[in-house]
Amino acid sequence: MSHDLRLNGEYATQNLDLIHVQNLQLPAGVAAPDIWNQAKVQPCNVSLKLTLRTTFDSAAAADTLDDSTIHYGHLCKNIRTACAIVMPARDTLDVIFATVHTMGFKSEFVLSAAEITLTLPKASAHGGVVEMSTNTTFDAAGGQLSVVDRTSYKQLQIMTLIGVNASERTGQQLVVLSCDLIAMNVPTTSKNSLLGLERAIVRFVQDTAYETLESLANAVLSNMVSDLFKDTTVHRVHLKFEKPSAVVYADAPAIEIRRQIAPYKP
């Protein structure tokens, strides 16, 4: 769903200029569920991918930062200033979005898309990371055309009984799960936090004894849909399961399922 995946659409033939910021540390952190699912202040980094509406050729030709681009130094400074106090993760994401959106207004609005990702490096009890992101496309006046919100649990290391061979049925082995929960074009007032779900997701994996990753993936998805999303807005779920010990000469074979679980308004 990321805006840079539209390879068969308008972006396939366009020249694109983008601005990236990777892992900018927020000065106050955020309030979010910790590994015990308790709201705690914890470190948080933000990464940005901003797609410009036109190229920054005029800035390049003059060797100066003009209205064709955004000064990433000022952008980082403004974000850190806006995040100088502790806020919930969802509020922090909204504040950063507002900062980016404001800086997009020059002589005209210079952004066509903005992807903002918060990373919580200490929020996982299973060796992974937790991320919350929003990906917005804009019209020429700065109005929002589409919004994709994503909560991700990445590289969760989970021991479970899995495998076809007789030896594999004698004990648990490691699977690595990455999970994306995606909501599309949900009004701000209706957005729900999907942080703090790691324990439940891990339990769905641990409490199984399937032979194949395919069966495990479908069962975990079914449990997530029936138990976790009754009062939340989730339109799509992506689950990727890796089994590192399955093939000696590969890092890990993996299977991935991507499912729409609720209708959404385009």
**DSSP symbols for 64-113:** S--TTS--HHHHHHHHHHHTSS--BHHHHHHHHHHHHHHHTBSSSB-EEE
pLDDT, residue 192, reads 65
Return d(Cα 156, Cα 16) in angstroms, integer: 34
Identify which of 164, 180, 181, 168 has the alpha carbon closest to the alpha carbon of residue 240.
180
pLDDT, residue 233, reads 84
Quick one: DSSP state of residue 212? S
Per-position pLDDT tens, the chain of length 266: 444 455 444 556 678 999 999 999 999 999 999 999 999 999 999 999 999 999 999 999 999 999 999 999 999 999 999 999 999 999 999 999 999 999 999 999 999 999 999 999 999 999 999 999 999 999 999 999 999 999 999 999 999 999 999 999 999 999 999 999 999 988 765 566 789 999 999 999 999 999 999 999 999 999 999 998 877 789 999 999 999 999 999 999 999 999 998 876 66
**Cβ atoms within 10 Å of 221's Cβ, excluding its own:** 18
Return d(Cα 76, Cα 189) in angstroms, integer: 27
What are the beta bridge partners of residue 33? Answer: 39
Quick one: DSSP state of residue 250? S
pLDDT, residue 220, reads 97
Return d(Cα 162, Cα 212) in angstroms, integer: 7
Identify which of 20, 124, 23, 31 has the alpha carbon closest to the alpha carbon of residue 80.
23
pLDDT, residue 1, reads 43
- Range list of H helices, 141-197: none
Return d(Cα 51, Cα 37) in angstroms, integer: 35
CA distance readout (Å), 78 to 27, 100, 167: 12, 9, 57
What domains appear along the chain, each with residue ranges and CATH number?
1-142 (3.30.1130.10), 151-265 (3.30.1130.10)
pLDDT, residue 189, reads 56
pLDDT, residue 185, reads 84
